[in-house]
Amino acid sequence: MSVSGSEIKVAVDAIVFGYSKNEGVSILLIQRKYPPFKNAWAIPGGFVLADESLEEAVRRELREETGIEVNYLEQLYTFGDPDRDPRKRVISIAYFALVKSARFQQLKASTDAENAQWFNFKQLPSLAFDHRKILNMAIERVRTKIRYQPIGFELLDRKFPFADLEKLYIALLDRDIDRRNFYKKVMALGILDETDEYAKSEGKGRPSKMYQFNKKRYQELLKEGINFEI
């Protein structure tokens, strides 16, 4: 059955990736309170109000359904298959964010969300609507993004051993990396400064040097364009 243009609604969805060096990568999901897909897990999101921008809408939905605020959201893609929502024709603009999940453990579901919870991205439940498709695209975008835009400011401590950066990339790529080659390529970019501090040793090995991001050099490289194979 076809639908008229007056029935088209605009929605936003937010894929929030959380990272912890102990737990790896997780995804923030909400449990739907109402039909369709009542009690099913879904990406946070909802309809855009007449008096708000897309980014205002996605930030509002995150506050209402999960109780969190994120510093940075990047637009992912527009999803508009005619049958993606059984209620009516809905076009959704998806956004994604990467956050340090430890900062967002106090979740608070409200409005049309029954619950909000972090899930390890390897152990996700079935998702409502076309949200698995949206999530898969977001995962691929992040994996592509980290090849030309080294990340870590939001996901690592201000000072960290190099092994923490390796763990971050291994977790996001979901595969092992050539660690010696990775170290050479990252250090050649000049975006890490060695500090005079050492990480506490957790075993018999020597304590690891601590590094911090050189934000000025990082911003310069972003303007120039970065591309390094991992």
pLDDT at position 78 is 98
Q: For residue 182, give both structure tokens.
A: 């990775």
Q: Where are the alpha helices (DSSP H) in 74-176?
A: 131-148, 162-173
Contact 19, 171 (CB under 8 A): yes
* Vertex 61: Cα angle to 63 and 47 (nearest 5): 165
Please write the tens of the pLDDT for every residue from 58-110. 999 999 999 999 988 999 999 999 999 999 999 999 999 999 999 999 999 99
- The most distant pair of C-alpha atoms in the chain lies apart, rounded to whole Å, by 69
What is the spatial distance between Cα 81 and Cα 130, in angstroms, rounded to a whole number?
A: 9
Please write the tens of the pLDDT for every residue from 211-229. 999 989 888 887 887 766 7
**Helix or strand holding residue 77 (H, E):** strand 74-79
Contact 140, 46 (CB under 8 A): no
State yes or no: pLDDT of 141 exceeds 50: yes
Q: For residue 8, give both structure tokens.
A: 């088209």
Work out the pLDDT band at 2, boundaries 50, 70, 90: very low
Domains of the chain: 5-147 (3.90.79.10), 160-224 (1.10.10.10)
State yes or no: pLDDT of 203 exceeds 70: no
